[in-house]
Structure 1
């Protein structure tokens, strides 16, 4: 009898149903990550829309060539047509941070100027030009090209003279021919070393630096540069030494050609004709 009762007892099967802990799974994390990524892309696009052309060009250049783009911040040109050196090259330019910024990022017009200058260097590849003679820097005003006197060889002007050497004249004519292809205006500057001229007080480094800048201008215009493309000719004497520790270093003697960007050119035009801050009485006397 007991045996029969045992057989009649029902068998209870307990089944555990899953799903109660679904909120502890990873599906929501994937959805949240997609949402955060979409929001980041949205705000990045909104940020780019509000930025200047310089910043846009910097971002574009970085994504096109993340490794090589940093080299465009600090430029030095090697003679004999070998192209552009990065900041680790043998140029005489001071070291700068390779991180692109709004002030250092090169707009397209700067890139065009660099390419034209490289073409000029290729055209001059037949000349025996030592390294360190050419130096390019990107500034807020534009592309600054420095033509630096050689330490062992006179490249442009003999000490105390404003007469170009034959080699210096060829170099400046070639540069003028290439820069004539740009619409940008130029500023040409002359710099001397700290040596006193043995000509009395009538002719000083002020006159010498200005005469050298004018000699460079004449050579460049004879190479094809339009005369109205030159905005200013400046002479700084020895007030902007390149080698400050040695005022007599020949590398302090140099010609600088500044290729103005459109913003700097427009600012110069506004300053030239803006008389709003001049008192009315003074304006009548002008």
Structure 2
């Protein structure tokens, strides 16, 4: 991870924050990455394909995402497996071992764990050459700085994932991707190990303002994104299953009654003649 370690050293709190170091980082990455992405979309894991109308992340835009390490790594994994570079800025708790478990190529991953107030400068420098960046802002950015960064994203074809929890939607955002209802599995009554976590991932975009949701294991048993085998949403749309009533015991057959249209005297002929004589 040679270049990634250089980036960490150049932009860590103990390093030198001079502008020359940021420019040096930019020059080093430029030698290893094209300056303009030709892809209109960056791929997503198949479990997330139905979330966005384009089935991928639109290049040159920004998305607001939940600052969850698992969600961040899941969103980076498909692009990394396709050979794209990626970077994470301002997330010191992000684990390299977890990134490898999601299938991310560590040799093409740049980590800037704690750039402090220089997070915007670091993100802007990386946007020159890196197609997919995650940033957790350490402070509020000015509108003018956000506009300049958005223009750079469009010019370079870079996609930015802004991990923001309390600041709300990132200005000029293409959409949002959030996780809700986390449920961890594997623990019993005082025993067991955490095995996997079931979450609901919700996405909204400008083209599709109505929320789209999928339920996945994030992470699954093997550390990857695993779609649930049972489609809970479809079963809710069908409604509750009806339970068949128990069969009733059969009733004894009743003698048939004469219908109103039948003649009133239905006795045999010899009985009729007997009553006539008696009368």
Question: Do the two structures share a fold, i.e. TM-score over 0.5?
Answer: no
Q: TM-score, normalised by structure 1?
A: 0.22
Q: TM-score, normalised by structure 2?
A: 0.23
Greater per-residue strand proportion: 2
Greater per-residue helix proportion: 1
Which of 1 and 2 has higher RCO (CA within 8 Å, sep 6+)?
2
